[in-house]
Structure 1
């Protein structure tokens, strides 16, 4: 594993671990609740979506595993917290295994074309890993705000 991937994985690990900790602190009931905001997601759905992000961008796009992702279903998922947190730990271990021997500078072959992707240069495995980091960190903050809204609602009720 390269120093570069070690650095990126450090922050991926932190975001996913802390999201799992938030779910555990909320418990099954609150982790599956949604703030009273249009289009809001539950903390459970947010972490579930993040696991989909990792598996799609690294597992399918970079490593080449079959893509079984149902992105829409990620946001409606609910259930007990403990199995999802365990799944998140497994996803991090798989992420480490997946990037262990990768040439991060190599182009992603046949991957998706998104409007935000560069057109003047190849989209690299490094870019895919940075995108995963971007999503995980963004959703970690999203989950912290969601937790705070849910807890404030509990106090006011």
Structure 2
């Protein structure tokens, strides 16, 4: 079975890739939405992923109270540097949460019904896998979003 270190290696690749994209885009472009219906800005996508990591790892796996406004995550905008600093803090805390997790044990809390997680009972390991699923999915999503934002600046 995969080790915690192996798991964190892949989580970090996805999260670090998103951090790099938002950093490279800078304040103006990171907050720009592609000209597509329902699109989110790169800033909002990274912000959402930080909410996923903090909530699923912190509240459901580690048992801390982690307030979350999922809808507001997608409306977020602002300067890039504070978001990147927060991302690094969330990443360090997630490492601690993963290292202290008990993958086969039940979740410490049940996910909110309106959070779009897996439609089945999860243990801590399942919740951690869902975090990776979200990060991998949104890393690719963010790569495409970046390309659309950059293409829109060249018109």
**TM-score between both structures, scaled by the size of structure 2:** 0.91
Runs of 4+ in 1 over 2 A off after TM superposition: 112-118
More divergent stretch after superposition (142-151 vs 3-12): 3-12
Q: Which residue of the partner structure matches residue 140 of structure 2?
A: 141
Q: Which residue of the partner structure matches residue 39 of structure 1?
A: 38
Structure 1 position 75, deviation (Å)? 0.4
1:63 aligns with 2:62: yes
- Aligned partner of residue 88 in structure 1, secondary structure: helix
> 104, 115, 118: which one pairs with 1:116?
118
Larger radius of gyration: 1
1 CA distance for matches of 2:131 and 2:148? 25
Stretches of structure 2 that go unaligned for 5 or more consecutive residues are none
Structure 1 position 101, deviation (Å)? 2.4
1:152 aligns with 2:151: yes
- Kindly tell me the number of residue pairs found equivalent between the two proteins: 152
Q: Which residue of the partner structure matches residue 107 of structure 1?
A: 106
Instruction: Give the aligned CA root-mean-square deviation in angstroms.
Output: 1.7
2 CA distance for matches of 1:102 and 1:61? 10
CA contact (8 A) 1:17 1:89 kept: no
Q: Which residue of the partner structure matches residue 98 of structure 1?
A: 97
1 CA distance for matches of 2:100 and 2:46? 26
CA 1:51/1:104 → structure 2, altered by over 3 Å: closer, same or farther?
A: same
Stretches of structure 1 that go unaligned for 5 or more consecutive residues are none
Structure 1 position 28, deviation (Å)? 0.3
